[in-house]
Amino acid sequence: MGMSVTISAATGQDAEQIFRLQYLCFQSEAALYGNYRIDPLVQTLDSVRQEVATDCVFVARLGEEVVGSVRGKVTEDGAAAIGKLCVHPRLQGHGIGARLLRAAESALAEQHGATRFRLHTGHRSEGNLRLYRKVGYQAVGRAKGDDGVEMIVLEKEAGAYVATA
């Protein structure tokens, strides 16, 4: 009998698992861009701990193992910046990323008053772009990351829930 994946708010005890999972998950993005200095790979464990303590962070668990995570926080313009969505490679393609996004969006809107959501992904990250479009995000611009990677900026209004992945 298999276990089901549950989504919940992260706790300080999850920070190390999030840190390790993020490092594993973003290897494929780094390879896609030939850049192993992207933010998720150079972020420190202390910085992840700080985000878990102050931001809206959700995890997906399979038993005791953290197999996915996402972070968000409301910015000065009322939008919620969502980032570092990751799902363990062995569990990708099963809707976990969409469930994590929904959890973060709901909490950011209901508890923090976010009126829209904004995220970004690398311009070559077709799988990410497909997921974000499927759950209602639309490209609104481009930006260059601190690491030099060209990013597509996507947004959607709060309450604009679409089909799940």
The tokens describing 120, both together, are 């970004």
pLDDT reported for residue 165: 44
Number of Cβ within a 10 Å radius of residue 1: 2
What pLDDT does 160 receive?
A: 64
As averages over each run of 10 residues, the pLDDT of the chain (165 residues) reads 83 97 95 91 96 96 96 91 96 94 94 93 93 94 90 89 49
For residue 102, give both structure tokens.
């929904």
Kindly state the tokens that stand for 99: 């469930």
So what's the pLDDT on residue 140?
96
Q: Is the pTM of this model over 0.85?
A: yes
Task: Please tell me the predicted confidence (pLDDT) of residue 148.
Answer: 87
For position 159, what pLDDT does the model report? 75
User: By C-alpha distance, which of 77, 95, 53, 36 is closest to 85?
Assistant: 95
> Please, are residues 105 and 99 in contact by the beta-carbon 8 Å criterion?
no
Q: Provide the pLDDT for residue 122.
A: 92
Helix runs in 113-164, H state only: 126-134
